[in-house]
Amino acid sequence: MGVLEKIAQIQDEMARTQKNKATEYHLGLLKGKLAKLRRELLEPQPGQGSGGGGQGFEIAKAGDARVSLIGFPSVGKSSFLSKVTNTKSEAANYEFTTLTSVGGLLHYNGAEIQIVDLPGIIKAAAQGKGRGRQVIAVGRTSDLILMVLDSTRGDEQRKILENELETMGIRLNKEKPNISLKIKSSGGVKMNSINPPVHLNEKIVSGLLKEYKIHNADVLIKDENVTIDDFIDIINESHVTYIKCLYVYNKIDVTSLEECDRLARQPNTVVMSCEIDLGIEDLKEEIWRQLGLIRLYTKRRGIAPNFNDPMVVRNNSSIQSVCDAIHRDMRNQFKFALVWGSSSKHSPQKCGLTHIVHDEDVVQIVTK
């Protein structure tokens, strides 16, 4: 029996099993089996190279962050790329216009944001239909996914895509579950928790670990609300990615005002029309906000900073990462930094390597 048949068989069994206290353990184990089979499915097959994006599909990372456009065919992904970057990706009114990934740079607030246009994906992409698996593999390498949706199609596309991404081990707008798993060589499975977990117990935890041939481990549950699925994700840690996602409903020029209003009220959602240029600027701003990038103006002693040419770093960056971004040897030459702006207590503040900078701070690095 192939992996796909095995998956179907387990899904059947899960559908047939009533959900109640008595079947909780059995259903939990089935979920664990399912996750393991899906993981097998995602592992590169012999002759397929190293997996990942597939031959000639993945493009090199560029700029300060990567944003991928994922969506069904003909929703307007290429239209968006052409609108916000200098790259032209062919857009047309037939499906599967784009057959490989195309990258472009969006210049915003002094940052270069790489936008990756991808072929449309369809239902059962995770099972290998169309270019789905390669598309999702690129999505996995992004700092943000823009799920581009057709606003005339209601919520149906979104549910299907969420399900495909979920199956491929991508968790959207979700933090990594607060569970620590330490695999050991002896001593059996021990579960500890800060507060008693609501959905997990030692029996299901060791049952699931056994499914993955782990017989000795320390499990610490730090959040009592974590679920069986969360624990399975922790066991499969290297196959699960947590990524931010913005839901972008395009083509609002052909949607009713009521529907447009309803869609726009959902969390993490933006509505736009590439055709009549509506909402594009708001979307750029939202992308910037979601990426959490910050601008720094570096200056030399006695010279004013160039406010037209910021340096872009990640949110919560320390002076140390600023040094590393300037030059790999900078850290060793570092004496102290002078910081002006909202992160400094007084202007300028003399800071060490651990100081966390804020958006639009001015930084002067003083070297030995």
| Chain residues in the site for ligand GTP (CB under 6 A) | 71, 73-79, 91-93, 95-98, 119-120, 250-251, 253-254, 273-275
Q: How far is the CB of 121 from Mg ion (least distance, A)?
A: 11
Q: How far is the CB of 250 from ligand GTP (least distance, A)?
A: 5
With respect to ligand GTP, which residue has the nearer C-beta, 7 or 272?
A: 272
Write out the two tokens for 341.
Answer: 């702006």
The site partner of 253 among ligand GTP, Mg ion, none (C-beta below 5 to 8 Å per kind) is ligand GTP
Binds Mg ion by CB under 5 A, chosen from 78, 250, 273, 298: 78
Least separation, in Å, of the C-beta of 272 and ligand GTP? 7
Question: Where does this chain touch Mg ion (CB under 5 A) — which range of 78-86, 141-149, 209-217, 297-305?
Answer: 78-86
| Residue 241 binding result from ligand GTP, Mg ion, none, given CB thresholds of 5 to 8 Å by partner type | none
Q: Which two tokens stand for residue 326?
A: 């300037």
The least CB distance from residue 167 to ligand GTP, in Å, is 20
Closest contact distance (angstroms) between CB of 77 and Mg ion is: 5
**Rule CB under 5 A: which of 304-323 touch Mg ion?**
none
Question: What is the CA 141 to chain-centroid distance, rounded?
Answer: 8
Nearest residue to Mg ion, using CB?
98
Q: Which is nearer to ligand GTP, 254 or 356 (CB)?
A: 254
AA identity, residue 188? G
318 DSSP 8-state letter? B
Q: Give me the torsion for CA of 363, 364, 365, 368, rounded to 10°.
A: -160
- CB half-sphere exposure, 328, CA atoms < 13 A: 0
- Return the number of the residue (76 or 177) whose C-beta is nearest Mg ion: 76
Cβ of residue 118: shortest distance to Mg ion, in angstroms? 8
d(CA 351, CA 94): 57
Residue 141 structure tokens:
């390498």
Closest CA to 51 of 243, 213, 239, 212: 239
User: CB of residue 321 vs Mg ion: minimum separation in angstroms?
Assistant: 35
* Region near Mg ion per CB under 5 A, out of 2-10, 39-47, 70-78, 126-134: 70-78
Identify which of residues 94 and 303 has a Cβ nearer to Mg ion in the complex. Answer: 94
Residue 352 DSSP class = -
Q: Among residues 105 and 220, whose Cβ is nearest to Mg ion?
A: 105
| Of 82, 85, 98, 206, the one binding Mg ion by CB under 5 A | 98
Q: How far is it, in rounded angstroms, from Cα 105 to Cα 100?
A: 17
Give min distance, CB of 75 to ligand GTP, in A. 4
Nearer Cβ to Mg ion (152/193): 152
Question: Would you say 98 or 364 has its CB closer to ligand GTP?
Answer: 98
- For residue 221, give Cα distances in angstroms to 71, 212, 234, 332: 36, 19, 11, 40
296: nearest Cα among 106, 113, 109, 114:
109
Q: Give the DSSP per-residue string, 233-302.
A: HHHTGGG-EEEEEEEEEE-GGGS-HHHHHHHHTSTTEEE-BTTTTBSHHHHHHHHHHHHTEEEEEE--TT
- The encoded tokens of residue 53 equal 């994006």
Question: Which residue's CB is nearer to Mg ion, number 28 or number 104?
Answer: 104
- How many residues bind Mg ion, per CB under 5 A? 4
Contact 295, 111 (CB under 8 A): yes
Residue 337: how many other CB atoms lie within 10 Å: 25
If one asks whether residue 97 binds Mg ion (CB under 5 A), the answer comes out as yes
Write out the residues near Mg ion by the rule CB under 5 A. 77-78, 97-98
